[in-house]
Every structure is written in C-alpha cells, then in structure tokens.
Chain A
C-alpha cells in the first residue's frame, strides 16, 4: 500500500478569489481538505480604536471603507445607530428615509453583482464577470452623482442625507431598475442550466440550518440553509415595513442554494426600488435637529446663527446622553451591527462593529473540510466575504 502523507498548502495571502488579503492554511490528503485554518488581520486598520478619538460626524467616513463593495450599507448602519442613541429615529423626514432605501437597495445590487462576477470567475465563467461589472458601472455612476465618489460614498448623515438627489437622477435609476431584471435573466441563462456550474455548486459547502445558526451565519448564506430571517422585514428600519417584497429561502443548504437566493434577492431589490421611486415625494432631507445636523449652506453664508451652528458642529460635534445602543441592519452580506456606547461626550466611548463577513468566514473550515481543494474556492466565493470588513 502506498504511503500517504498530509501536505500543507498555503492558499493566499493574496488569491484571486478573495476580496482582500486572506491566508488559508489547508492540510491536504491528496486533493481532499483535512483541515482549513483561516488567518486574517492583514488589513486591520483599527477603525474601532480610531472612532474613540473622533466625533460622531468624523467617524462616518471610516465606516464606508470597511465593506468597500457596499459602502452605503455600512453608512446606513452607523447613522441609524447614532440616531437611535440620540433618540432621533422618529424625526427622520420621509424623503430622506426613501432615498436611504433606494441607495441601500442599489448597494445590494452592486454588492451582489460583484459577488456573482467573482464567484463565477472563480469557477471559470469569464463572460458573467464582464457582464456584471458592466451593470455595476451604472450603480457606480449613480453613486458618483449623489455623493461625488464612486466607492467611498459618505452620503448619509446623522439626521438625514448630505444632499438631495440631483436633477434627472430619478429617471436614471428608474431606467436602470427597468433593465436590471433582464440582465439577471441573462446571468441565469448563462449559469443555471450550465452543467459545469451545476456540478461545481450543487452539494458543495453544505451547512445545515442548525449549524448555520450556531456558527452565526447570516444573510443569504443563512437563508440558503432554509432559515427565514431578513431584518428588513422582521425588524424594519428606514421605513422598510412599507414595501412589499419576498424573502427568498432555499433548503438545499449548498452553494447552489445560496446562488439562487442571491439572484432572487436581486430581483426583489428591483421590486423595492420601483416602489420606493414611486413613493418619492419632495420634502426636507434633514431632520429638524439644529444641534446635530449642519445648517443649510445659504444660512451659513448669510446669517451669523447659521455660521455659529456650522462652526460648533464641525469643531465640537454633538453630545448624546450617556447610554448604549445596538443597531443591526440587513446588509448585502448579512446582519451588520453597530454597538455604540456614549459617555456623554462628543466622541463615541466605544464602538463595536459586528461585520457579517467576519462571522461568515468562521464557517469556512466547517464547510470545506472533507471536500476537494477546488471546492474551497467555490465556498469562499459563495460566502461573499470582504476582508476590509473582517479586519476593520
């Protein structure tokens, strides 16, 4: 009988299938993974520590650099947490809420497009990658029009938004939303019936509902295991309770199931976007909270009170009463939570982010051990991790 020996292989630190720097130490018996150990921390920037030295407004631009494929979702979680801390949650104007939902759903589409592009490319489908990036470009253009930046949006503010939609943007979003379901059909046409795609995803990375909850999986990964949990519907924020949409689940618990769940989510996002665009009415975009929100620019230029307020908020910030809040949202990758403690000063005493990718990556060893090395790539793709968010 031939002697077999376990071989250790380093996958990464940089690997095309990871968004960021991830080192995966794989112990292989032939092609079979015996043990997988993820090593993270290469992108650790100490965002939580930095936030303790900055005012609440200054912390906001740090948040969109975490999950750089879904920046506005990170902004949204943060501003919602701070608004809860201030007791401002009910004061956010209707229009600001609707625009937040529009941008959050566009972000979901954008994030899922990168997921699909890279997941498909990892498994060997080049065309889907090019198509997805073509569509993502449209969302980037919308980002650029509202915030001036294509990636680091920083568009939401505590109390509302930094600015209203520019003229003509609503029509642009509507055109994009109208054509998007057709594109999703194209992706499905390329992949769903494809024998190679089916063989590479079906039965790969199986995790049962019980195990998934135990390890803390959230988002499409959890719904792919048959657990019907979506905070947009179950714990609504920003007026999500007004929209009519379905939460897709699948009981197959494998990579294939998570693929189908995400594709359906993209269609549902378009449905929410259409309803949000229909209900968008003119109105204010900032809460009536002069101690928190910056005054309109024309007041700053023309009145001394406006100037003083602008100066005070920029230099000193605002001081929420002592207390602690935890706010979770349904980000594209799963449940994103912000835990903020205020000690009554203008800076957060402690901010803890619960990034979905961090917890989802923890399930990787469980999902790949016992399967082939090629499946590790498929599973990393299906978890849709972004290392910027994992390391913070």
Chain B
C-alpha cells in the first residue's frame, strides 16, 4: 500500500492522536482523537496545504461506542489531493472543538451538524439551528429519530 505523504507527516507530528489510517477505493481516511482536531486541522491547512474544506458532517453509528463520527473532507487546490479526517465523539457528551477559526466555511457545516445530528461544537461563534425551526426538539438525522417525525405513528396501510 502506497501511503499518502500527508499521512506520514501527520503520523510523525501527531503520533499519539492518529488512531487509524484506512484506504478504500483510492481514498485515504485518517481517524484522529477529537481532542487534537483543531491542532491537526491547522497543521493540515498550513503545512500540508489543504486549503479548501469541502465538507463537514456527522455520522451516527447507533449501538457502537463511540457513537458519532465527525467527518472532514479536505482538498488541496494546488495539488488536487484529498484527505478525509474523522474524529469519534461519544454519545454521553457529544462535543468537539470547532474548526471554523481555521476555515470560515466550517461555520455553516457545523451548524448543520449540530442541528441535524446534535453534536455540539465548542467555541463555535454562532451555534444555532440552521435547517430546522429554532424551537424544534430532537435531531432528525440521528438513527433513533423516527422517519415520520416524533409524534406520528408509522403508516400501516388502509384502515377501512
């Protein structure tokens, strides 16, 4: 397996926080500890040149521990390389530090992740719901949130 040069540098600099490196269909995924996510992202932007943050999202692995994953898709505009960072977040206290200070674009992505997945981003400048109304209860993209909504019975077919 040819290892991505960026992964080597990440491992060297943050040996203690890189939990796992996987390769699937030519894409590299690096799982890191959430405590160091800001330092790692800052390093990836400044030293490794991943200047565009394409996307941030949460994934709910209900039944597994830790339950949530926060996924960052990075893109390097000059070398056209991609890197995926993941950080596990526990169910008990779903918090992770914001990276909106590194890439301003993370602001809305993190708001969306909070709104739909219920992951809190520490130090976020403006953590409000974005797609759902302000007074909405629950986080719809969680696996234990019913598809039909909270107060509705699933459709059972014709009643008469």
Residues in A lying within 8 Å of B, measured CB to CB: 40-41, 44, 46, 48-50, 52-53, 84-85, 87, 211, 213-216, 218, 227, 229, 234-235, 323-326, 328, 335, 337, 339, 341, 349-350, 352, 354, 358-359, 362, 391-392
Cα A2 to Cα B131 in complex, Å, equals 41
Q: Contact between A339 and B147 (Cβ–Cβ < 8 Å)?
A: no
15 A-B Cβ contacts within 8 A? Answer: A41-B130, A41-B132, A52-B143, A214-B103, A235-B80, A323-B25, A324-B24, A325-B24, A326-B84, A341-B59, A350-B59, A354-B55, A359-B105, A359-B108, A359-B109
Q: Contact between B25 and A325 (Cβ–Cβ < 8 Å)?
A: yes
Q: Contact between B25 and A84 (Cβ–Cβ < 8 Å)?
A: yes
* 8 Å CB contact of B141 from A49, A234, A337, A354: A49
* Chain A nearest Cβ from B123, distance in angstroms: 18
Closest to B106 in A: A216
Q: Contact between B147 and A49 (Cβ–Cβ < 8 Å)?
A: yes
Known: A40-B131, A213-B52, A359-B109. 6 other contacts (CB 8 A): A48-B141, A50-B147, A211-B104, A227-B77, A337-B55, A359-B105
Cα A213 to Cα B49 in complex, Å, equals 12
Cα A391 to Cα B130 in complex, Å, equals 9
* Chain A nearest Cβ from B152, distance in angstroms: 14
Q: Assess whether B35 is interfacial by the CB under 8 Å rule.
A: no
Q: Contact between A339 and B71 (Cβ–Cβ < 8 Å)?
A: yes
Q: Assess whether B140 is interfacial by the CB under 8 Å rule.
A: yes
A216: B residues at CB distance < 8 A: 52-54, 103-105
Closest to A351 in B: B57
B73: A residues at CB distance < 8 A: 326, 337, 339, 354
Q: Contact between B140 and A46 (Cβ–Cβ < 8 Å)?
A: yes
* Chain A nearest Cβ from B8, distance in angstroms: 21
Residues in B lying within 8 Å of A, measured CB to CB: 24-25, 27, 29, 51-55, 57, 59-60, 71, 73, 75, 77, 80, 82, 84, 103-105, 107-109, 116, 129-133, 140-141, 143, 147
Cα A302 to Cα B116 in complex, Å, equals 48
* Given A213-B52, A216-B52, A323-B25, A40:B130 Cβ within 8 A: yes
Q: Contact between B80 and A234 (Cβ–Cβ < 8 Å)?
A: yes
A350: B residues at CB distance < 8 A: 59-60
* 8 Å CB contact of B105 from A214, A325, A326: A214
A341: B residues at CB distance < 8 A: 59
* Chain B nearest Cβ from A160, distance in angstroms: 19
The CB with the most chain A CB atoms within 10 A, among B25, B53, B82, B107, is that of B25
